[in-house]
Amino acid sequence: MYRVLLVDDDPHIQATNAAFLEKAGYQIYQASNGSDALRIAGTAALDAVVLDVDMPGIDGVCVCRRLREVSQVPVLFLSAYAKTDDRIRGLMAGGDDYLAKPYSLVELELRLRLRISRRRNIELGDVLRFGRLEIDLGLREVRYGSDTGSFTALEFDLLAFLARNPGQVFSYEQLHDRVWKAPINQGLHNIQVCAARVRQKLDRLCPGAHYIETVRGKGYRFRDTPEIGL
């Protein structure tokens, strides 16, 4: 069940969107202003946010910008304005998609599903290969030559995520958001500990080949060409 936060100060729009999406199988959270939206986003593990642009107080663009400081959750903007400048403002703030009011509820649900699926997409049966290192996404195994490592489910998910994005540096907050799937204030330390364990286990499995690099003050990145002997 996907968890979606609906943010709009129009109670009729909120009720209509919530009823349609709940019928489609979504778990719905609701906020009528930007402050409540940020509070809910800090305590609920969300799969997407549907965000009205024009709201009193903290508007949708500001909410999206604040969310992007700690999360890459998909954000779909809704607005009564179809001007190009408004769309650009929303997308530049980190929004993923944009629908102008009035809109089709079927299209809203389709766009939500596509954005969530893209973020969650891990193709079963794929094997990521980096020299002698193999990360089997289907069997959920990590192999190096004839040896197989022992990784917990969360450790494997974290390693697989980094390996699917080689060269990119991810902060603890980003790894927590992408892999842990829990509220940011309920486990950031846990993801830090998990990341350290993944690197230690991978270093033991692949002696001398350092695939995961700690970037001081920024986080971790996976090297598809490991630094030997560092």
Q: Residue 10's domain is classified under what CATH number?
A: 3.40.50.2300
pLDDT-based confidence at residue 4 (cuts at 50, 70, 90): very high
Q: Is the pLDDT of residue 92 over 90?
A: no
The predicted structure's pLDDT at residue 184:
52
73, 48 contact by CB (below 8 A): yes
Q: What is the predicted pLDDT for the residue at 230? A: 42
- Got the DSSP string for 93-134? TT--EEEESS--HHHHHHHHHHHHHHHH---TT-EEEETTEE
201: pLDDT confidence band, cut at 50, 70 and 90? very high
CA distance 47 to 2: 6
pLDDT(99) > 80: yes
Q: Are residues 10 and 113 in the same domain?
A: yes
| 146 and 193 assigned to the same domain | yes
Specify whether 76 is located in the same domain as 143.
Answer: no
Please say if the pLDDT value at position 11 is more than 90.
yes
Identify whether residues 62 and 44 lie together within a single domain: yes
3-state secondary structure of 9: coil
Query: What per-residue confidence (pLDDT) applies to 159?
Result: 93
Average pLDDT (104-124) is 80
Say if residue 9 is in the same domain as residue 113.
yes
Contact yes or no for 50/90 (Cβ under 8 A): no
What pLDDT digit, counting tens, does each position of 38-88 carry?
A: 999 888 888 899 999 888 889 899 999 998 887 778 999 988 765 666 677
Can you tell me the distance from the alpha carbon of 92 to that of 80, in angstroms, rounded to the nearest whole number? 18
Q: What are phi and psi of 147, to 5 degrees?
A: -100, 145
Of 74, 91, 120, which residue is a domain's last? 120
Of 120, 136, 166, at which residue does a domain stop? 120
Instruction: State the pLDDT at residue 122.
Output: 46
Domain residues for 167?
A: 127-228
- At residue 12 the predicted structure's pLDDT band, cuts being 50, 70 and 90, is very high
Q: How far is CA 223 from the centre of its chain?
A: 21
If asked whether residues 59 and 151 sit together in one domain, one would say: no
Residue 16 and residue 109 share a domain: yes
Q: Kind of pairing, strands 27-31 and 3-7?
A: parallel
- The answer on 155 and 70 residing in a single domain is no
Residue 71, number of CB atoms within 10 A of its CB: 20
Question: Residues 80, 147: one domain?
Answer: no
Residues 131, 151 within the same domain: yes
CA distances from 109 to 65, 88, 138 (A): 23, 22, 29
Summarised one tens digit per residue, pLDDT across range 165-193 is: 888 898 888 887 777 765 555 556 777 88
With cut-offs at 50, 70 and 90, classify the pLDDT of residue 126. Answer: confident
The segment with the largest mean pLDDT, out of 26-40, 46-60, 128-142, 185-199, is 26-40
Domain end (from 74, 95, 120): 120
**Residues 157, 163, 167, 170: what is their CA dihedral angle, to the nearest 10 degrees?**
0
The DSSP H or E segment spanning 163 is helix 153-163
Block residue for tokens 């909410």 = 63
Is the pLDDT assigned to residue 137 strictly greater than 60?
A: yes
Q: Specify whether 110 is located in the same domain as 191.
A: no
CATH number at residue 189: 1.10.10.10
Instruction: Count up the domains in the chain and report the number.
Output: 2
pTM of the model: 0.58
Same domain, 179 and 212: yes
